[in-house]
Structure 1
Amino acid sequence: MAEILLYWGWDADLLECPQYIADDINIYQRQFDKWISNPNNHHSYWTKDSEDELALCFDGTAFLEWLNNIVLANEKEKAHFIKRQFVPVKAELDLPRINF
Structure 2
Amino acid sequence: MIIKVGFDYEDDMEYIKCPAKVGRKINQLQWGFWEWLYDRNNEHGYWFEEEEDGHINYGVSYRTDAFIYWLNNIKFKKGKIVARLIETPKTQPKKAIRF
Any idea what SS the aligned residue of 2:2 has? strand
One-letter amino acid of the structure 2 residue matched with residue 81 of structure 1: L
2:85 is aligned to: 81
2:7 is aligned to: 8
Native 8 Å contact 1:18 1:77 kept in 2:
no
Q: Which runs of 5+ in 2 are unaligned?
A: none
Q: Which runs of 5+ in 1 are unaligned?
A: 85-90
> TM-score with structure 1 length normalisation?
0.80
Output the aligned Cα RMSD: 2.0
> TM-score with structure 2 length normalisation?
0.81
What count of residue pairs does the alignment treat as equivalent? 92
> Within 5 Å, which residues of 2 pair with 1:12-51?
12-51=13-52
Deviation at 1:6, TM superposition (A): 1.4
Runs of 4+, deviation exceeding 3 Å:
none
Relative to 1, partners in 2 of residues 1:47 and 1:77: Cα closer, same or farther, differing over 3 Å? closer
Instruction: Identify, as 1 or 2, the structure richer in helix.
Output: 1
Deviation at 1:50, TM superposition (A): 4.7
